[in-house]
Structure 1
């Protein structure tokens, strides 16, 4: 990354150290239980390939895309993978800000302090998320020995074992069924990227276009990030009479840097992420009855947990980080997929993967009939 005097805009090593220090420990398990959980998750991830591809009719575009690794990780492992991904994605933006800062008085001092501050802030955010994510298809981090990717540079499937064990215990569901159910969702994401060769580059291009539109001086950018971190640390802000007070940090960093062009890009990104998440939910529940005996119980309990959160502070943090919006993505995306499949069948729905032009817009996600009409015209 471009740096000034060897100082980076974000101290990524400090971000990892902060997150791993603050993240809550996982559930208590014996060594034998841990080994059994890891082994079972690997088996379920493998068996999910056949289930998902048979149900969706989606196959890898090239044989090499079938070798995307499955990594069963702990919470610090998830943090390290995501920091690597963030670092890759944010390099152009931070280099741009770094260049602007280099011409300002005291830029080196600002960089030294700002890099540490933002490193801590990123670490705080990741420490919160690291105990909640069950799985993830990570696509952007470059392959390394510690974080292998597919032979063609594709990503890797992450399954966060302690979080899966924690949730299955909290919900009091059959652990074998729950682990397979989670793997079906995450394998759907791996299949999406393996079978749609342009998808990764399209999403990455949209993200980079969004970031390239950011035009903010370094001190303002760092201040905004501090506002976000302070909101996370405090959970909520109280006015003099005890009423909840609006604050800039509550909207989240993304909301604070949007230009009109960014809002257009974000609308497209929201639509495609709603599609991907809704499709994964639709598939996991569509495959579920045949291979997960207790899928109805799992879905009912999981939906309730997903909707309510763990408490007042948890709900405030979820709102701050945009997780409430993500829940809407799941619901609206799943409804879109279900409605289109009911109308056109799975082959008709799969036209969505032809090119970026056949992706639904944000308004079409909410109104699937409009997408169907566009495809028929």
Structure 2
């Protein structure tokens, strides 16, 4: 399906240009024998089903839902799928707000849809060589009407497994455990997909403020950055963006960051909790994979910082620590209270203070 076919509202970003740019810029995957590639594809499809069964047993979520195989794709197919999902997610977010200026407005400043598409394509090209897997909750409908696509990027998974020097079957299952957790989160919690879209829509609404408003906050942001640097505690790119935001924008961003951190951390916790039962080398994989996340050359690290990848890595750690603490204190059934209703989701401050969430939700 064309990445833009489901988007009827006027666009500020040309997704066709984004896909074309990314595919042209992206490096090919590792060269592996055809038989080995075919075996990896078969194993990933099998693992995607087995992994979700294990996740259901661990979490108690979605026990009565059907399970489908994940879609094993190459790098260009991931780009096409990601572009379609992003366009669908943006469309769903805009549908939750009333501002017509957002639908046809200039969310990306003075950039044309085409030039914005080129920039998005550069980002997708970079990520297309890094992403191992992804559940897209806004993708095409899956089995029995369940929405979303589980994408497993075979060349990246094979390359990562070879780079880490860990058993292939263990690593494939480990990756599938994480992504299957995401698929279960959105399919077992009926309100989550719409709630996330509504939060993103609210954030886009708050972003509608003009350049003049942003410039009024720039001097104070510069002073805070200088103060942080003198204290040897740079706020990073995400921190700088937050300094430039109004209180309303920060509040909307906090809600999106909190739920994203919860989802990523919960998936990391589950994959490691299930791991010892089905992934004998899980300890080695986690240690080496964490080192790989933090590594990379200078250019790679700069790009990761600019794209917010380093901030996402911190989300994994914070969200996993929150989940582990809550599960240790009140058990998995007690943790699952987060899925009961939107009001039970942790606030951003509660992510780093899980006892505050336990007191609020469990009394």
- The answer to whether TM tops 0.5 is yes
Could you say which residue in structure 2 is the equivalent of 1:239? none
Could you say which residue in structure 2 is the equivalent of 1:280? 267
- Give yes or no for the alignment of 1:344 onto 2:327: no
Which of 192, 197, 201 is the equivalent residue of 2:194?
201
Could you say which residue in structure 2 is the equivalent of 1:324? 310
Could you say which residue in structure 1 is the equivalent of 2:38? 35
CA–CA distance in structure 1, aligned partners of residues 80 and 239 of structure 2: 22
- Give yes or no for the alignment of 1:16 onto 2:7: no
Which of 183, 186, 190 is the equivalent residue of 1:190?
183
CA–CA distance in structure 1, aligned partners of residues 263 and 178 of structure 2: 10
Could you say which residue in structure 2 is the equivalent of 1:126? 124
Could you say which residue in structure 2 is the equivalent of 1:301? 288
Shift of residue 207, structure 1, vs aligned partner: 0.7
TM-score by length of 2: 0.83
* Aligned partner of residue 66 in structure 1, secondary structure: coil
Q: CA offsets, 1:229-273, max 9 Å, x none? A: xxxxxxxxxxxxxxxxxxxx9559976984432211211111111
Could you say which residue in structure 2 is the equivalent of 1:87? 87
CA gap 1:255/1:120 in 2 versus in 1, 3 angstroms: farther
Q: Is the 8 A contact 1:69 1:156 kept in 2?
A: no
CA–CA distance in structure 2, aligned partners of residues 35 and 369 of structure 1: 47
Q: CA offsets, 1:327-346, max 9 Å, x none? A: 11111111111111111111
Shift of residue 67, structure 1, vs aligned partner: 4.7
Shift of residue 29, structure 1, vs aligned partner: 1.3
CA gap 1:250/1:331 in 2 versus in 1, 3 angstroms: closer
Could you say which residue in structure 2 is the equivalent of 1:54? 57
CA–CA distance in structure 2, aligned partners of residues 351 and 264 of structure 1: 23
CA gap 1:178/1:153 in 2 versus in 1, 3 angstroms: closer
CA gap 1:95/1:179 in 2 versus in 1, 3 angstroms: farther
Question: Any unmatched runs of 5+ in structure 2?
Answer: 1-7, 212-235
CA gap 1:16/1:312 in 2 versus in 1, 3 angstroms: same
CA–CA distance in structure 1, aligned partners of residues 118 and 305 of structure 2: 20
Question: Any unmatched runs of 5+ in structure 1?
Answer: 102-109, 221-248
Could you say which residue in structure 1 is the equivalent of 2:148? 155
CA–CA distance in structure 2, aligned partners of residues 270 and 14 of structure 1: 28
TM-score by length of 1: 0.80
Q: Is the 8 A contact 1:252 1:322 kept in 2?
A: no
CA–CA distance in structure 2, aligned partners of residues 192 and 322 of structure 1: 23
Could you say which residue in structure 1 is the equivalent of 2:353? 367
CA–CA distance in structure 2, aligned partners of residues 339 and 263 of structure 1: 26
CA gap 1:18/1:26 in 2 versus in 1, 3 angstroms: same
Could you say which residue in structure 2 is the equivalent of 1:77? 77
Could you say which residue in structure 1 is the equivalent of 2:101? 96
Could you say which residue in structure 2 is the equivalent of 1:242? none
